[in-house]
């Protein structure tokens, strides 16, 4: 399949009609689309998928789990401008919706096996103001070489060209790489991945052919047995065979009935999904209500805890914080008083000492002082009288000083007392808690208001119906699971019975004078058995070869993408399609890094894509943010070097830059476009940069 042109109208960020003309006379198969994140590159891929299969899936990783949803065309929340929790945004361009232009379409012209295909898928509103997906009617149109294909045959035609399951391997983009890398490294590969991989390798078709030969062999066997019934020696064996046949028939009837029941449940699940889409707002409101109630409960707990912690802080000695400014002031005051008191006390001591000397001199006319040991000289009477006068004055001064000192009180003790009230804490913790209380109270108020609003919305919505549908869906899924188990058990019983039948039938005796018809039947049966066995062996060999081919191609890709190829021997894939990387000495290496895992998933994609032999353009978008720039560059080179079929590289400001792409791969480019925001708003504007 080679795309000739792609035309989008009001799809995602593309407002109005935009055309990408892929036709070229250069013989080059490379195309590049440049543009920063959010400018519409991935939307372009999505438009192609929507045109082909009528649906676009998107996924998000939440708390380590990958959730996948189909994107609606219209979402009622869009009318309320509530995109806060939405990751599966509607496909219809927002501006178009606001301007009441409810038509959306994607048209692809492509060549496939010498024929020209024109596929158009368009969405139109059934109502003047659509609010939900069911208000939109989607209609595909397909013509092959100008002949219109009837509506029922459009999807089978597309599936013939590129089955939806296989298409994902041609789109190297972060969502599918992420989910595939998770599956490739799961402890036990799920049936899903093996099924997908076998689909890309065309194995279901081979299985189908093998089953035809099994049927042929059984048919021949029955014919042989019908002749053998005439031989009396076989009477008892034939009775046994009859019993086994009845058992097999009964088991097969059961398997058929179980299969029908499984289909019934699958159909009902699909119907419920459609019905649930009719009530998107109720379903979403219930989800929002649940989240809001959880948030309310969390906020209430935070609030309660904050009050408890604040109470504990305030009740326990917080009053000390109040005293601290005064303590600093009082501390200087008492220190000053203590200094003054000490000074006065010193003066008093000196005065008392001098009075003591004077008294000795007056009484003894000069003698050794018993206090200080000084020896005073002898004094005359006149001198002693003068000294006595001074002594009386000094004694009075000392009494006054003592009284003054008394008035100072005990500042030294006060300073000690004061220190017992000192505290280094401040009020910051209380402030923080009260801030938290204020913020939480406001949030709680908002949340309560939100709950009120949601409840008002819910009153309008048919909540009971949604709950009933959800419960029924769960029951259907569970029932389908147990039916599948039942079918497996029945299939095992069928195989056992068939084996028993073959063993029993081998004891049948054939008349020596067998008719030529018998000989012919035996020969035909032998051929059918041989074909069955050959198909079995071929299928097994093909599976093995396909796995080896993917392994070889993935190894080539891995070695061309990794910065240190000498450290690796290659990629190893086991029968369950579990993947590992081998070191140069053949030891299995731990691939714990998400970037490594995503790179390996890209390599497996590459191997599967090439092994499938399908002709379809490869779209190379951002393969994952965990992959380093060096690996991204090498990866891009790997894809550019393999441009036998159309390859569309989506280059952005991250790993793959415009200038770099132009410099390195300009000679491989047939055409390139640059996507940007239009001057008025954030809708996509397209400019062809290489023609």
Partner 1 sequence: MKLDFQVGTSKKAHKVMGKLAGRTDDDKAPKNEKAPFEKMSDAYLFGLVLGLSKGQKVDSISNRINYANFSSIEGDLDIYSMIKLFGDKDDFTNKDTIKNAIEAYATWGLLHIDENYDYGDDDYRLAEIFTNE
Q: Residue 339 Cβ, how far from partner 1 at the closest point, in Å?
A: 18
Any contact of residue 199 with partner 1 (CB under 8 A)? no
Q: Residue 447 Cβ, how far from partner 1 at the closest point, in Å?
A: 17
Residue closer to partner 1 by CB (options 385, 431) is: 431
- List all residues 6 or more positions away from 83 whose beta carbon is below 8 Å from its beta carbon: 77, 89
Any contact of residue 497 with partner 1 (CB under 8 A)? no
Residue closer to partner 1 by CB (options 431, 449) is: 431
Binding residue for partner 1, selected from 290, 326, 492, 544, defined by CB under 8 A: 326
Find the part of the chain contacting partner 1 (CB under 8 A) among 44-52, 185-193, 301-309, 556-564.
Answer: 301-309
Any contact of residue 310 with partner 1 (CB under 8 A)? yes
Residue closer to partner 1 by CB (options 310, 341) is: 310
Count of positions on this chain that bind partner 1 (CB under 8 A):
30
Binding residue for partner 1, selected from 25, 84, 230, 315, defined by CB under 8 A: 315
Find the part of the chain contacting partner 1 (CB under 8 A) among 53-61, 83-91, 312-320, 537-545.
Answer: 312-320
Any contact of residue 304 with partner 1 (CB under 8 A)? yes
What is each CA distance from 645 to 155, 168, 200, 618, in whole angstroms? 23, 16, 17, 8
Residue closer to partner 1 by CB (options 310, 501) is: 310
Any contact of residue 444 with partner 1 (CB under 8 A)? no
Any contact of residue 322 with partner 1 (CB under 8 A)? yes
Residue closer to partner 1 by CB (options 312, 349) is: 312
Q: Find out whether 269 and 476 touch, Cβ atoms under 8 Å.
A: yes
Residue closer to partner 1 by CB (options 298, 657) is: 298
Label residue 189 left, alpha or beta by phi (over 0 means left) and psi (-120 to 50 means alpha): beta
Binding residue for partner 1, selected from 67, 319, 445, 530, defined by CB under 8 A: 319
CA–CA separation, 76 and 131 (whole Å): 5
Q: Residue 311 Cβ, how far from partner 1 at the closest point, in Å?
A: 6
- List all residues 6 or more positions away from 324 whose beta carbon is below 8 Å from its beta carbon: 422, 423
Q: Residue 308 Cβ, how far from partner 1 at the closest point, in Å?
A: 8
Q: Find out whether 657 and 49 touch, Cβ atoms under 8 Å.
A: no
CA–CA separation, 466 and 280 (whole Å): 9
Any contact of residue 332 with partner 1 (CB under 8 A)? no
DSSP structure string for 420-441: TT-----SHHHHHHHHHHHHHH
Q: Residue 321 Cβ, how far from partner 1 at the closest point, in Å?
A: 5
Nearest to 406 by CA among 334, 347, 346, 345: 345
Q: Residue 428 Cβ, how far from partner 1 at the closest point, in Å?
A: 9
Cβ count within 10 A of residue 39? 23
In the structure encoding, which two tokens stand for residue 152, read together?
Answer: 């029922």
Q: Residue 413 Cβ, how far from partner 1 at the closest point, in Å?
A: 9
Q: Residue 343 Cβ, how far from partner 1 at the closest point, in Å?
A: 23
309's enclosing H/E stretch is helix 280-315
Question: How many residues appear in the chain?
Answer: 691
Q: Residue 317 Cβ, how far from partner 1 at the closest point, in Å?
A: 10
Q: Find out whether 646 and 31 touch, Cβ atoms under 8 Å.
A: yes
Any contact of residue 682 with partner 1 (CB under 8 A)? no
Residue closer to partner 1 by CB (options 194, 437) is: 437
For 133, phi then psi, to 5°, come to -55, -35
Residue closer to partner 1 by CB (options 320, 395) is: 320
**Can you name the residues that pair with 119 across neighbouring β-strands?**
108, 142
Q: Find out whether 81 and 97 touch, Cβ atoms under 8 Å.
A: no
Nearest to 8 by CA among 675, 614, 616: 675
Residue closer to partner 1 by CB (options 230, 420) is: 420
Any contact of residue 445 with partner 1 (CB under 8 A)? no
Any contact of residue 408 with partner 1 (CB under 8 A)? no
Radius of gyration of the chain (CA): 46
Any contact of residue 330 with partner 1 (CB under 8 A)? yes
CA–CA separation, 11 and 44 (whole Å): 9
Can you list the alpha helix ranges (DSSP code H) found in 29-173? Answer: 41-53, 76-79, 94-98, 151-161, 164-167
| Secondary-structure percent of the chain, ordered helix, strand, coil, rounded to 5 | 60, 15, 25
Binding residue for partner 1, selected from 194, 214, 227, 323, defined by CB under 8 A: 323
Any contact of residue 311 with partner 1 (CB under 8 A)? yes
In the structure encoding, which two tokens stand for residue 1, read together?
Answer: 């399949």
Binding residue for partner 1, selected from 314, 367, 398, 458, defined by CB under 8 A: 314
Considering only residues 411 to 430 of the shown chain, the ones binding partner 1 according to CB under 8 A are: 414, 417-418, 420-421, 426-427, 430
Label residue 225 left, alpha or beta by phi (over 0 means left) and psi (-120 to 50 means alpha): alpha
Q: Residue 430 Cβ, how far from partner 1 at the closest point, in Å?
A: 5
Find the part of the chain contacting partner 1 (CB under 8 A) among 196-204, 252-260, 322-330, 619-627.
Answer: 322-330
Q: Is the dihedral of CA 353, 359, 361, 364 positive or negative?
A: negative
Where does this chain bind partner 1 (CB under 8 A)? 304, 307-308, 310-312, 314-315, 318-323, 325-326, 330, 414, 417-418, 420-421, 426-427, 430-431, 433-434, 437-438
């Amino acid at each position: 399949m080679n795309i000739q042109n792609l035309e989008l109208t009001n799809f995602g960020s593309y407002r109005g009609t935009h055309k990408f003309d892929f036709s070229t006379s250069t013989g080059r198969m490379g195309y590049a689309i440049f543009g920063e994140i959010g400018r519409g590159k991935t939307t372009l891929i999505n438009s192609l998928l929507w045109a082909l299969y009528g649906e676009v899936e998107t996924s998000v990783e939440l708390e380590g789990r990958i959730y996948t949803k189909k994107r609606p065309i219209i979402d009622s929340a869009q009318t309320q401008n509530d995109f806060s929790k939405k990751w599966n945004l509607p496909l219809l361009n927002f501006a178009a919706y606001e301007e009441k232009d409810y038509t959306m379409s994607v048209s692809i012209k492509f060549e496939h096996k010498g024929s020209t295909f024109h596929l158009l898928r368009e969405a139109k509103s059934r109502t003047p103001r659509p609010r939900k997906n069911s208000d939109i009617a989607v209609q595909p149109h397909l013509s092959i070489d100008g002949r219109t294909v009837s509506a029922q045959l459009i999807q089978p035609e597309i599936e013939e060209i590129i089955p939806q399951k296989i298409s994902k391997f041609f789109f190297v983009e972060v969502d599918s790489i992420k989910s595939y890398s998770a599956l490739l490294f799961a402890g036990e590969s799920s049936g899903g991945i093996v099924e997908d991989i076998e689909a890309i390798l065309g194995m279901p078709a081979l299985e189908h052919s093998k089953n035809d030969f099994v049927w042929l062999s059984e048919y021949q066997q029955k014919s042989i047995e019908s002749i053998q019934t005439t031989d009396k020696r076989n009477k008892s064996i034939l009775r046994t065979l009859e019993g086994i046949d009845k058992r097999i028939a009964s088991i097969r009837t059961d398997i058929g009935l179980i299969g029908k029941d499984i289909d019934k449940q699958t159909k009902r699940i699909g119907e419920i999904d459609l019905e649930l889409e009719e009530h998107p707002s109720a379903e979403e409101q219930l989800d929002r209500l649940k989240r809001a109630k959880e948030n309310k409960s969390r906020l209430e707990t935070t609030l309660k805890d904050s009050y408890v912690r604040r109470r504990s802080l305030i009740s326990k000695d917080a009053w000390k914080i109040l005293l601290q400014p005064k303590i600093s002031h009082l501390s200087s005051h008492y220190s000053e008083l203590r200094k003054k008191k000490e000074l006065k006390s010193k003066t008093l001591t000196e005065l008392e000492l001098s009075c003591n000397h004077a008294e000795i001199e007056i009484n003894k006319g000069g003698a050794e002082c018993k206090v200080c040991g000084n020896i005073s000289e002898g004094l005359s009477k006149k001198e002693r009288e003068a000294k006595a006068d001074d002594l009386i004055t000094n004694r009075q001064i000392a009494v006054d000083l003592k009284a003054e000192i008394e008035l100072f009180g005990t500042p030294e003790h006060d300073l000690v007392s004061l220190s017992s009230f000192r505290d280094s804490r401040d009020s910051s913790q209380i402030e923080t808690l009260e801030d938290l209380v204020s913020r939480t109270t406001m949030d709680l108020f908002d949340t309560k208001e939100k709950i009120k609003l949601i409840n008002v919305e819910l009153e309008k919505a048919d909540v009971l119906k949604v709950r009933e549908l959800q419960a029924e869906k769960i029951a259907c899924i569970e029932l389908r699971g147990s039916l599948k188990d039942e079918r497996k058990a029945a299939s095992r019983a069928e195989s056992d019975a068939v084996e028993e039948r073959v063993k029993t039938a081998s004891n049948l005796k054939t008349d020596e004078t067998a008719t030529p018809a018998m000989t012919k039947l035996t020969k035909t049966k032998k051929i059918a058995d041989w074909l069955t066995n050959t198909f079995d062996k071929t299928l097994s060999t093909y599976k093995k070869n396909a796995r080896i081919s993917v392994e070889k191609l993935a190894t080539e890709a891995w070695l061309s993408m990794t910065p240190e190829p000498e450290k690796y021997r290659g990629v190893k894939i086991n029968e369950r399609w579990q993947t590992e990387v081998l070191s140069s000495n053949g030891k299995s290496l731990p691939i714990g890094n998400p970037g490594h895992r995503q790179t390996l998933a890209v390599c497996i994609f590459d191997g599967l894509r090439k092994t499938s032999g399908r002709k379809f353009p490869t779209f190379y978008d951002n393969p994952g943010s965990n992959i380093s720039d060096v690996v991204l560059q090498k990866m891009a080179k790997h894809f550019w070097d393999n441009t036998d079929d159309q390859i569309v590289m989506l280059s952005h400001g991250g790993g793959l830059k415009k200038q770099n792409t132009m410099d390195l791969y300009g000679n491989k480019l047939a055409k390139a476009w640059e996507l940007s925001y239009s001057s008025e708003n954030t809708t996509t504007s397209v400019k062809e940069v290489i023609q």
